[in-house]
C-alpha cells in the first residue's frame, strides 16, 4: 500500500497540536503577557487572509495548490506579488498569532521551526517544478519576487 505524501496542512495541524502541549507541559519563559497577548489577533488574521487570498488565486487559475501536483499556471498576482510562497507565510503568521495568545516561549519555538520545515520539505521541490514547467517566465518572476517576504 502506497502511503499518502506529507502535505503542508498536516504540518500546520501538527504544529497547532504541539503548541498547547508545549505551553502547558514546558512553558519556558513568558515573552508576552495578557492583555498584550491579544495582539496575536493581528498576525492570526493576516495569516488567515493571506491563505484565503492565495487559495482563491489557485482556484481561479484552475491549478493545483498541492506541492506534489503538477502546476498548470504560474500565479504572479495578488499575494504572489509580494511572496513566492504566501500560503506558507500565512501559515507562519497564523502560528505567530496563536503563540502570542499562549505567551510562552515554547509555542513561539514551534512558530520559528515551521518555516524551516516548509523550506526544506516543500519549497525547494516546488520551485524546481515551477522552473521546469515555466522556464524563463519562472526565472523572471523568481528574480522579481522574494521567496518569503
Q: Closest Cα partner for 75 from 53, 90, 97?
A: 53
pLDDT tens-digit readout, 89-112: 999 999 999 999 999 999 999 999
Q: How far is CA 1 from CA 4, 7, 78, 111, in A?
A: 9, 18, 40, 33
pLDDT at 2: 67
In three-state secondary structure terms, 30 is strand
H-helix or E-strand containing 82?
none
pLDDT at 85: 97
pLDDT at 97: 98
pLDDT at 1: 59
Is residue 130 over pLDDT 70?
yes
Query: What torsion do the CA atoms of 51, 52, 57, 60 make, to the nearest 10 degrees?
Result: 150
Cβ 27 vs Cβ 106: under 8 Å: yes
User: pTM of the entire structure?
Assistant: 0.94
Q: Where are the beta strands (DSSP E) in 8-123?
A: none
Is residue 77 over pLDDT 90?
yes
Q: Closest Cα partner for 15 from 37, 39, 47, 38?
A: 47
pLDDT at 11: 97
Neighbours of 51 (CB within 10 A): 21
Task: Please classify residue 70 by burial: count the beta carbons closer than 10 Å to its beta carbon, then call 0-12 exposed, 13-18 middle and 19+ buried.
Answer: exposed
What are the boundaries of each domain within the chain? 8-144
pLDDT at 14: 97
Residue with the three cell numbers 510562497:
85
- Between CA 106 and CA 121 the distance in angstroms is 22
Amino acid at each position: 500500500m502506497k502511503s499518502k505524501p506529507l502535505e503542508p496542512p498536516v504540518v500546520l495541524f501538527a504544529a497547532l497540536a504541539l503548541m498547547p502541549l508545549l505551553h502547558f507541559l514546558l512553558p519556558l519563559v513568558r515573552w508576552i503577557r495578557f492583555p498584550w497577548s491579544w495582539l496575536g489577533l493581528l498576525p492570526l488574521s493576516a495569516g488567515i487572509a493571506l491563505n484565503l487570498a492565495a487559495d482563491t488565486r489557485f482556484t481561479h487559475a484552475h491549478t493545483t495548490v498541492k506541492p506534489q501536483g503538477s502546476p498548470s499556471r504560474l500565479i504572479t498576482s495578488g499575494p504572489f506579488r509580494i511572496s513566492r510562497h504566501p500560503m506558507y507565510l500565512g501559515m507562519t503568521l497564523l502560528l505567530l498569532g496563536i503563540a502570542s495568545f499562549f505567551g510562552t516561549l515554547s509555542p513561539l519555538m514551534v512558530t520559528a521551526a515551521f518555516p524551516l520545515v516548509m523550506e526544506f520539505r516543500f519549497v525547494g521541490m516546488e520551485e524546481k517544478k515551477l522552473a521546469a514547467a515555466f522556464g524563463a517566465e519562472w526565472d523572471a518572476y523568481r528574480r522579481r519576487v522574494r521567496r518569503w517576504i
